[in-house]
Chains A and B, each alone.
Chain A
Amino acid sequence: MWPAIRRWLDPTESGVGITPDYRFSLANERTFLAWIRTGLALVAGGLAVAAFVPNLRLAGVREVLAVGLVLLGAVVMIRAVDHWARSERAMRLGDPLPPSRFPAVLAVVLCLGALGLLALIVANVFQP
């Protein structure tokens, strides 16, 4: 784990490999920022759940959902810098870009969450 964290701070490891085309590095950086924005949006979603979901019959479910979304946002931000560093390193070494199932997993999780919320609304679990 520590080598991975060190690489977040210096993916080039003081100049391993060759410097890639600047456009690829910049594209990698923009992708990193897009993931950060995704993480921030999840945090906003968690704050919204905490603020706007009315009291549910099951106490605490709202807080669990809200904190879950916020922590998911944090995980996305960590993963953003990890993927950025691994991609940068792969470009320097001429390796294939690291494959990732994270986008698909995240999409499925959020889809299930949205469907779950829809089911809650339909089942009218909100107190009158």
Chain B
Amino acid sequence: MSAPTQPPGAQIERTRLAWRRTTLTATGVLLFGLSTALPHRPGPAALAGLALMVLAFVGLVLVAYRRIADLSRTGGHQAGRYPAAFALLGLALTLPAAALILARG
């Protein structure tokens, strides 16, 4: 397979949009988690779990933002460590949610 010197713009744009869609989904998950947990007057441990989720979310947005910026530069096509970083932060968002459910149940 030969690589073109400049990737077609549509592919880059579609990939940037995919990153944005994904952060939008993560935003929905965070807001949903907060809206269902906060009305129950969470104790300090639960608040710590929620804070972890918020931090993970901020990390997700930062990673996505940097990747989107990279994609706009020429030569920024390789995803490098972004997928691994994003998946790890996704876990940091997800696992406190499981703990919160168990703690409340």
Indicate whether A and B interact: yes
| A residues whose Cβ falls under 8 Å from a Cβ of B | 8-10, 12, 18-30, 32-34, 36-37, 39-41, 43-44, 46-48, 50-51, 60, 62-63, 66-67, 70-71, 73-74, 77-78, 80-81, 84-85, 88, 91
Neighbouring B residues of A66 by C-beta, 8 Å: 101, 105
Neighbouring B residues of A10 by C-beta, 8 Å: 80-81
| B residues whose Cβ falls under 8 Å from a Cβ of A | 1-4, 7-8, 11-12, 14-15, 18-19, 21-22, 25-26, 28-29, 32-33, 36, 77-81, 83-84, 86-87, 90-91, 93-95, 97-98, 101-102, 104-105
Neighbouring B residues of A40 by C-beta, 8 Å: 22, 25-26, 28-29, 90, 93
Q: How far is the CA of A12 from the CA of B81 in the complex (A)?
A: 11
Q: How far is the CA of A39 from the CA of B12 in the complex (A)?
A: 24
Q: Which of B7, B91, B101 contacts A50 (CB 8 A)?
A: B101
Are A22 and B25 interface neighbours, CB within 8 A? Answer: no
Give the interface SS of chain A, mostly helix, strand, loop or mixed: helix
The total number of A-B Cβ pairs within 8 Å is 131
Which B residue sits closest to A92, measured CB to CB?
B1
Given A19-B3, A33-B21, A34-B18, the answer on whether A44 and B28 have CB atoms closer than 8 Å is yes
Neighbouring B residues of A62 by C-beta, 8 Å: 105
Given A47-B97, A50-B101, A63-B101, the answer on whether A23 and B25 have CB atoms closer than 8 Å is no
- Nearest Cβ distance between residue A97 and chain B, in whole angstroms? 13
Neighbouring B residues of A21 by C-beta, 8 Å: 1-4
Neighbouring A residues of B78 by C-beta, 8 Å: 12, 19, 25
Give the interface SS of chain B, mostly helix, strand, loop or mixed: helix
- Nearest Cβ distance between residue A87 and chain B, in whole angstroms? 11
Are B15 and A67 interface neighbours, CB within 8 A? Answer: no
Q: How far is the CA of A83 from the CA of B58 in the complex (A)?
A: 25
Most A CB within 10 A of own CB, among B95, B97, B102: B97
Are A8 and B105 interface neighbours, CB within 8 A? Answer: no
Q: A29-B79, A39-B90, A44-B32 are in contact. List 6 more A-B contacts (CB 8 A).
A: A21-B2, A36-B25, A47-B32, A48-B32, A74-B91, A88-B79
Are B98 and A29 interface neighbours, CB within 8 A? Answer: no
